[in-house]
Amino acid sequence: MKTRIAADTPAALGYRMPAEWEPQRATWLAWPHNRTDWPGKFEPIPYVYAEIVRHLARAARVELIVNDSGAEARARNILTNANVLPTLQPRIGFHQWATNRGWLRDSGPIFVRDKAGSVALTNWKFNAWAKYKDWQLDNALPEKIARQRGCKSFEATADAGGYAAKDAAPVADAGRQMVLEGGSIDVNGRGLLLTTEECLLSTVQQRNPGMTREQIEAALGRMLGVKKVLWLERGIVGDDTHGHVDDIARFVGPRTVLAASEADPEDPNHAILKENLKRLKKMTDTAGRALEVISLPMPSPVVFKGQRVPASYANFYISNRTVLVPTFDDANDLKALNIIQQAMPKHSIVPIYCGDLIWGLGAIHCMTQQEPAEG
């Protein structure tokens, strides 16, 4: 049982995080520049981005972050070579803000919308997955985006903020900015949120030490309008984000979840994904109705320089009746595309080859962040 909701929280003001398939004004992206994300394989990456921008700009506006004027010139040159500019120029905006990396799903803001259609954003701390020391530029992006868009910004803090469960223990360092990456959660826009224990609850990964499951659920409730958190166990092999859910299970409808499944019992992902599927099939929505769980195959293991990378078809991105799906020149590509098409029959399904992009340990969903449409 929960106590009162503080009057100035997004939930109390009627805001909620919309589902990804709800109308969008724009997709935010950061043009790639950090070669250490793709060591020895950076050259094709800007052209992969160009192909993604081409399809996204047809679905909604694209807000493209570049480091400086020189970076903008280089991006414009590649977009022109790829025949994205000047054709789609009116639908692409450039913003010269320095970044550490380009994974906007995690470093960018998480947008919310109220019943009247007003859009605001929630600002969480980004600490580079508790792995790297250079994250300060990325952490500043939500504030810059809020100023550019002229919208209200809510800072997420680690204290219970009036939404704590009764008798909850105090949060260590209450009032500090809470860490959350957009790739660690997925919502249905109607009160449900999917995440993993590996990512949000691990004390080893140092995202929010001292916060309990109950307190994390409370924070998600007050910031994103979440009414029920669905906890999966862990993420796939090769995922250096410590279990992001956008590689394993995604909402494609109010009660429909596409969940990654590995058929090969010898593959280490087999047991991981089997446990997650088992949990999903026991889960219900806020009204107590069972979820519809649809299995999505995994591609064959993708290995580069001896390292397995987190290749998954679940890392797709939805924008205004368009779904961009990562493919890997694999026998399961077509099967996965057909399953996604059947689950979302009114959407255009667009395959994007991500065999090079995934060497950066992320794919299409990891690099995108949606801004909902107003009204």
Q: Out of 151, 199, 354, 366, pick the active-site residue.
A: 366
Composition of the chain by helix, strand, coil, percent to 5? 30, 25, 45
Residues 6+ apart with CB under 8 A from 189: 16, 17, 18, 19, 22, 254
Q: Which two tokens stand for residue 158?
A: 């680690």
Q: Are strands 256-261 and 119-123 parallel, antiparallel or unpaired?
A: unpaired
Of the candidates 190, 226, 189, 188, which has an alpha carbon nearest to the alpha carbon of residue 200?
A: 226
The three-state secondary structure class of 145 is helix
Maximal CA-CA distance, the chain: 61
Q: Are strands 292-297 and 256-261 parallel, antiparallel or unpaired?
A: parallel
- Please give the Cα distance from 223 to 191 (Å, whole number): 12
The three-state secondary structure class of 99 is coil
Measured from the Cβ of residue 132, the count of other Cβ atoms closer than 10 Å reads 12
- Please give the Cα distance from 51 to 65 (Å, whole number): 16
Q: Which two tokens stand for residue 69?
A: 């004027």
Q: What are phi and psi of 57, to 5 degrees?
A: -70, -20
Do 244 and 183 form a contact (C-beta atoms < 8 A)?
yes
- Please give the Cα distance from 16 to 106 (Å, whole number): 18
Residue 352's Cβ-count burial label (10 Å; 0-12, 13-18, 19+) is middle
CA dihedral 78, 81, 84, 89 (to 10 degrees): 70
Q: Are strands 61-66 and 92-96 parallel, antiparallel or unpaired?
A: parallel
Q: Is 199 a catalytic residue?
A: no
C-alpha 362 chain-centroid distance:
10
Do 86 and 124 form a contact (C-beta atoms < 8 A)?
no
Catalytic residues: 366
